[in-house]
Chain A
Amino acid sequence: MINSLFLINPSGEIFLEKHWKSVVSRSVCDYFLEAKEKALEPEDVPPVIHTPHHYLISIYRDKLFFLSVIQTEVPPLFVIEFLHRVAEMIQDYFGECSETVVKDHMVMVYELLEEMLDNGFPLATESNVLKEMIRPPTILRSVVNTLTGTSNVGDTLPTGQPSTIPWRRAGVRYTNNEAYFDVVEEIDAILDQSGTTVFAEIQGVVEACVKLSGMPDLTLSFMNPRLLDDVSFHPCVRYKLWESERVLSFIPPDGNFTLMTYHVNAQNLVAIPVYVKQSISFFECGSDGRLDVTVGPKQTMGKTVEGVMVTVHLPKTILSINLTATQGSYTYDNGTKLLVWDIGKLNPQKLPNLRGSLSLQAGAPKPEENPSLNIDLNIQQLAISGLKVNRLDMFGEKYKPFKGVKYITKAGKFQVRT
């Protein structure tokens, strides 16, 4: 299974290494660094690299490379999934996953990695279990620790680990019992020049933040579960019950977790909340071009579209741009040729518009293809698919929890071809 792990920053520096079996020299990373040099973008580095004696499987996440060294056959996804869990664990413990955070908490990260794998095979990956073994740092705790001499390391086996509910720790107590569910839907769409939908689908996720005492047994039901086409669940959800009654029944982990992800039936037409009128043109003679983009609301179900952002990767031959925006502001990075227009709230009365001229490098040919626009947006209090949570019931505990559901629609991979 997983032999070693190296954390590498974008400039190629190895700043953490951990071995679960015999030590593998860090020179093995050279193969990876070579591949990284070759790739234009960090995303383009192949996830699986084959070297004479080892196999390198890496992920790129939060501007960090997590590189694992494998010696024998193992499902690559097994490793990839685990590496993502490592990243999520760091995020969960320290609030963010970045080079500085890892360097600041080097020892704790190392200890966590030690707990997560034994001989390269995952031992404890549930956040609830890990947090009982090695408690996450808080200011209060560090003060208490220095005063009382207690440590961050648990000395008994977490109750979750040996039980059949490894995701929940025992003895949870809250003064305010609350359970919040966020239904977040993302629209993935490709629109062509004329604005017609080439491809659109809705992917949703139910994020939960459950802070309930004891061992609550929750049942969440939807008004219209038939909408859901394909689902995947947190291990706590009882699948059979979903199959027979279309309700989510589960004993939740403590804290934040993703309860389910779903895909909305493809037959339902996807409402596209915005339209984009654009024209990007380059003149055949003279090194010049024009850009004119207008964004307007389309099917918004009466809600306001917020946080609208348009991102354009301009052609490499662009020398400079000179644009004016009627609303919001734009930034342009000449190095990466990345144009970001941050619009904010969409006002149907006064449509935001960005226009101006683009100038090309002298002598450069007219770009072949116009760059596509990536749209970002969010709509509060709306699940674009129309999914609605019906009710949440709790069994197994006596108190009355505070319950809340929030709906958000976002743009996922929303792309307008020009």
Chain B
Amino acid sequence: MSTNNLSYNDQGGSDSAVEVGQETTPTSSNAGAGFGLFSTNFKKNDDLKEMLESNKDSLKLDAMKRIIALIAKGKNASELFPAVVKNVASKNIELKKLVYVYLVRYAEEQQDLALLSISTFQRALKDPNQLIRASALRVLSSIRVPIIVPIMMLAIKEAASDMSPYVRKTSAHAIQKLYSLDPDQKEHLIEVIDKLLKDKSTLVAGSVVMAFEEVCPDRIDLIHKNYRKLCNLLVDVEEWGQVVIITMLTRYARTQFTSPWKEDGLFDENSETAFYESDEKKTKNGDEKKSYMMDPDHRLLLRNTKPLLQSRNTAVVVSVAQLYWHLAPKHEVGVITKSLVRLLRSHREVQYVVLQNIATMSIQRKGMFEPYMKSFYVRSTDATHIKSLKLEILTSLANEANISTILREFQTYVKSQDKQFAAGTIQAIGRCATNISEVTDTCLQGLVLLLSNRDETVVAESVVVIKKLLQTQPTQHSDIIKHMAKLFDNIAVPMARASILWLMGEYCERVPQIAPDVLRKMAKSFTSEEDIVKLQTVNLAAKLYLTNSKQTKLLTQYILNLGKYDQNYDIRDRTRFIRQLIVPNEKSGALGKYARRILLAPKPAPVLESTYKDRDRYQLGTLSHTINTKASGYLELSDWPAVAPDQSVRNVEVIEPVRRSIFTSTARSRSSPRPYTKGGHDQFRHFNTAESDEEKSSSQSSEESDKSSSQSEKSSSESDSEQKKTTKKPPQKKTVKPTAKDRYYNELFNTYSCVPVSLSLFSLCILTPCPLSCAALLLQVSGPAFVPEKSHDLLHRMTGKGLSAQYQFPRQPCLYQPTMVSVQISLTNTTDHPLEQIHIGDRDPTGLDMHCFNAIECLLPEASVTVSLGVDFNDSTQAANFQLCTKEDQFSVSIQPAVGELFLPATMTEQDFRKEQGKLLGMNESSATITMAAENTTRQPISRQVATVANLGVVPSGQDNIHRFAGKTASSGALVLVTVELRELSAALITINTEKSVMGPMLLRDLKRALARA
């Protein structure tokens, strides 16, 4: 065998030469062992071994596939370990993967040999390909060999700071594996968990929380700082991660916030039903009325989880439902109902778990599910356990109002062919009857009718239930007892017979004629009865003996004699006891006097209640709740703290140097658009929102620039969600005093005023913006009257492989050349890896003169940067085409200016205006009469509309009905004069005078559209 191996090895590829050399000896010894143990399939494995040792990848692959198939079938393939392990370094990716799969399965059993493969993984951990790094870590950490714990620890630590979020995710999984292998590593692992919890990638979040839950669920302090981040990321995390995070946050919230539940109204049914009708509305009001103020973080969690009720993943929906159940104010819990009912359409197994949860909820809160009562109607095709759960819920939902509907439904169920289900229904009817006193009689009548049912189980169940019901109110029902006595002969089910006998005995005084007769019959058939019936017969006899000894003395004696010689010792025992108790003789002690009180004591009625009554001690949605016992690893949900712990622990300080944040802006402020949120589709809207936030904070900052950044961040996160539809308002930047003078800040301001989204907020607090008045003077133009916030897509992140670019016209004079129009480009990296060397590549050779921005060395993931660009459009609306390049890619993009962006506003007096206008008549004049929109009839709206369309300055005008605007074209400096003259009946004449005869009509068209717009 070994010689054979060697010869193959000699021919073997160089790639596995090292390992092969080491393994020759173990291979042979193992083969020997294999021969002894698996002599039957030795032949087959032998040929697999040969295939594995060939130098053809295809043969090896075939062999591996067969081996994996063996493993999948559960066959033992461990003796092939040495032959397999030497292929671990194979170049063929498919082969390698299969070897990995094999290794993970058998490494534990073949520890020594498994060690030989470790070096391969260590090498792969440094591979440039993230998939290879990740899978190496996966396999390495799955090899459950204690010796390599230090190596694993090292690998995990390294992977936790890997560039690729995928690798980091894998490291989070590896933490759990290492912990289960060696719990002593806990402290070190917690460090890694802490580090990974800070990770901002949605890919990592779920896995690291999973690791947290498994390794150190009690270290709640690690969550504080990441709480808000987790809440905000939640929507974008993959489904499985969502479940884990939500479960963890539920536990967290129960330790950190005070109870939102009113102490008294915990189960106040009335108030619940009332708000149920308009739960949404009251949500807001309710909070204000109470003195209780919900922690904003508590609210944040509730708000951010709510959309997930619409998830397709049932586990997510239920985890949100349980979060609301355990955390939300009582009047808000109603929102989960619909979603839970929706899940009843899903697979049988899903229904089972959801119904269990609903069953627990419906006991406490009937109102929640009552409107959906019909969804719990049973179908004949439902599985048995589904049927009984639905029955359970219907019973819990029953109240005075709907009981007749429910009972009618129950009538159908009683007739079901599934007798077990029918029996369950009868019990349910019994429960309804005890809970709702109005229908007790009706139910009893119905149950009595069932006594003549042909099916034994139905009858038996009815008897048992009637027995329980009669116990609650025995006075009026002697006729029912009589009826049952009549049926006694026909009933064969022991439990039912026993129940009737017990009833007879208990209420023998109400049926004095019948009871002795029943006892007589029983005396005849005593020997052939079941044990429980015999016991009850003895009971009945004893009771009758005490109440009616004249008639029954002999019968009792006879039965006691029969019982004395019964085969069952319980019955013999009972008989002996009863005889001593009731039959007076010299030996009977003091007890005999109390026989009557012992046997005929009034007995409390049994309470019929749901089996789900106390299930709420377990957190809903958990395995423990489903099986109703504490599963291993179940984490208790703590009670609300009486006093909320310090809230400030969740505040996140952002300590980052200002300069860095401006250019790379790694801190993704919450107001900046997420790369892909389910929330915001429209990029444009995001920009608006963000901008208004910034305005707010920038105006604040002028007064209190040292305001703590954490607070401003908080405010922004709130306004982010609240002001979804911020109306556009003119920015207040004009009013900001010019302070800092140097060019550096000028540039910064450009950056800021144009594409503020990319900046994190705190940096703005420090920046004091400065308009470019100095530059403006040189050009003899005024500052822009208005800077439209609208930005245009330059490069969509889909086409840009994650690089997205937006451009905007800041309407500032270009610093590079006066003839150029400045354009601000904001670049955002939406990938997970840094983009390097972003610069402008080839330009259209015939194209326009451009001043490019300096190449950006590196743009970190999720960071954005704003650059400015100068383009000389030559006073035409021709698009500027160029290439935006990264290190790897090139994207052709183009900037298409609107005609109004090609101007610079000019200041002049009314006289100058008229003078210049006089020079530009005829060919140079274009005019049109339009009907103005109703709101555009006063000065301000007109100025705003015109300023939106074109970068023109307002010329002070003496007349109220004439508005004048003036500007210069950027390239040639030609004057552009616009006059808007209002006439009666909201008509207006727009006149444009410019020597640029192409631009005139284009501008006119734009203005017409803007002013006439409704």
Q: Do A and B come from one complex?
A: yes
Which residues on the A side are within 8 Å of B144 (C-beta)?
Answer: 22
A417 near B: Cβ within 8 Å?
yes
Most chain A CB within 10 A, of B141, B180, B379, B831, is at B379
A46: chain B residues at CB < 8 Å are 352, 385
- The chain A residue sitting closest to B383, CB to CB, is A43
Q: A18-B72, A121-B210 are in contact. Are A239 and B310 (CB under 8 A)?
A: yes
- CB closest residue in chain A, given B721: A240
Could you tell me if A237 and B626 are in contact, using CB atoms closer than 8 angstroms? no
A26 CA / B798 CA spacing, docked (Å): 48
Residue pair B315, A77 in contact (C-beta under 8 Å) = yes
Q: Does B362 contact A (CB under 8 A)?
A: no
Complex Cα spacing A187 to B348, Å? 18
Task: Give per-residue flags for A35-63: 1 if the beta carbon is below 8 A from chain B beta carbons, else 0.
Answer: 00001110110111010000101111100
Given contacts A18-B72, A71-B632, contact A1 B108 (CB under 8 A): no
Give chain A nearest CB distance to B419 CB in angstroms. 9
Q: Which of B318, B624, B681 has the most CB of A within 10 A?
A: B681
Expressed in whole angstroms, the Cα–Cα distance for A198 and B338 within the complex equals 20
Instruction: List the A side residues contacting B352 at CB < 8 Å.
Output: 46-48
Expressed in whole angstroms, the Cα–Cα distance for A109 and B352 within the complex equals 28
The stretch from B162-170, B440-448, B691-699 touching chain A is: B162-170
Assuming A119-B142, A162-B166, is B93 touching A415 (CB within 8 A)? no
| Tally of contact residues, A, Cβ under 8 A | 111
Instruction: Report if A316 contacts B (CB, 8 A).
Output: yes
Chain B residues within 8 Å of chain A by Cβ, number: 117
1/0 per residue, CB under 8 A from A, across B374-394: the answer is: 110101110111000000000
Decide if A75 touches B247 in the complex (CB within 8 Å): yes
B347 in contact (CB, < 8 A): yes
- Tell me whether A289 is interfacial, beta carbon within 8 Å: no
Report the minimal beta-carbon distance from B27 to chain A, rounded to whole angstroms.
24
Stretch from B126-134, B146-154, B396-404 that touches the partner: B126-134
A372 and B383 alpha carbons, distance in the complex (Å)? 15
Tell me the minimal C-beta distance from B181 to chain A in angstroms: 10
- Distance, CA A17 to CA B349, complexed state (A): 21
Q: Answer yes or no: B173 CB below 8 A from chain A CBs.
A: yes
Which segment, of B233-241, B539-547, B874-882, B897-905, faces chain A? B233-241
Q: Is B58 an interface residue (CB 8 A)?
A: yes
If A151-B93, A155-B93, A238-B680 touch, does A75 touch B417 (CB 8 Å cutoff)? no
Q: Report the Cα distance A101→B379, complex, angstroms.
A: 33
Q: Mark A350-384, 1 if CB is under 8 A from B, else 0.
A: 00000000000000011111011010000000000
Interface string of A204-222 (1 = CB under 8 A from B): 0000000000110100000
A82 to B129, CA, bound (A): 29
A111's partner among B97, B235, B310, B635 (CB-CB below 8 A) is: B97
A75–B634 contact, CB under 8 A? no
Is B307 an interface residue when CB atoms closer than 8 A count as contact? yes
B349 touches A59 (CB 8 A): yes
Contact of B919 with A by CB under 8 A: no
Interface contact A313-B678, CB-CB below 8 Å = no
Q: Is the CB of A77 within 8 A of B314?
A: yes
Within 8 A of A (CB), among B239-263: 239-240, 243, 247
Q: Does A190 contact B379, Cβ atoms closer than 8 Å?
A: yes
Q: How far is the CA of A80 from the CA of B626 in the complex (A)?
A: 13
Asked if A78 is at the interface of the complex by the 8 Å CB criterion, the answer is yes
Classify the interface of chain A: helix, strand, loop or mixed.
mixed
Chain A, 100-139, CB within 8 A of any chain B CB: 106-107, 109-111, 114, 118-119, 121-123, 125
Which residues on the B side are within 8 Å of A323 (C-beta)? Answer: none
Kindly state the separation between the CA atoms of A138 and B730 in the bound complex, as whole angstroms. 60
A153 contacts partner chain B, Cβ-Cβ < 8 Å: yes
Task: Say if the beta carbon of A295 comes within 8 Å of chain B.
Answer: no
B210 CB contacts on chain A under 8 angstroms: 1, 121
Known: A22-B108, A118-B170, A365-B454. A110 touches B68 (CB 8 A): yes
Q: Does residue A72 face the partner (Cβ distance < 8 Å to B)?
A: yes
Tell me the minimal C-beta distance from A329 to chain B in angstroms.
23
B385 close to A44 (CB less than 8 A): yes
A235 to B629, CA, bound (A): 34
How close is B618's CB to chain A, nearest CB, in angstroms? 10
Of B318, B632, B682, which one neighbours A73 at CB under 8 angstroms?
B632
Q: Which residues of B contact A1 (CB under 8 A)?
A: 210
B420 nearest in chain A by CB position: A40
Query: Are A367's CB and B417's CB within 8 A?
Result: yes
Interface digits, B652-696 against A, CB 8 Å rule (1 contact, 0 not)? 000000000000000000000011111111100000000000000
- Which of B94, B98, B141, B170 has the most chain A CB within a 10 Å cutoff? B94
A80 touches B314 (CB 8 A): yes
Q: Which of A14, A26, A50, A368 has the most CB of B within 10 A?
A: A368
Chain A nearest Cβ from B183, distance in angstroms: 14
B58 pairs with A149, CB closer than 8 A:
yes
- The reply to whether A72 and B626 contact each other, CB–CB distance below 8 Å, is no
* Set A50, A71, A151: member contacting B627, Cβ < 8 A: A50
Asked if A110 and B347 sit within 8 Å, CB to CB, the answer is: no
| Complex: A188 Cα to B319 Cα, angstroms | 27
A165 to B920, CA, bound (A): 57
**Please, what's the 1-or-0 string for B454-485, where 1 marks a CB less than 8 Å from any CB in chain A?**
11000000000000000000000000000000
B751 CB, min distance to chain A CBs, angstroms: 26
A95 within 8 A of B: no
Not counting A123-B173, A149-B58, A153-B97, a sample of 18 additional A-B residue pairs whose C-beta atoms are within 8 angstroms of each other reads A17-B73, A73-B632, A73-B634, A81-B314, A81-B315, A107-B68, A110-B68, A157-B166, A162-B203, A164-B674, A166-B238, A201-B375, A230-B338, A240-B679, A261-B312, A261-B345, A371-B380, A371-B417
- 26 A-B Cβ contacts within 8 A? A18-B72, A48-B626, A59-B347, A73-B634, A73-B635, A77-B319, A77-B350, A78-B315, A80-B314, A80-B347, A106-B68, A106-B73, A110-B69, A110-B72, A118-B138, A122-B240, A153-B94, A155-B131, A214-B798, A240-B678, A240-B681, A251-B676, A313-B380, A316-B417, A368-B415, A374-B381
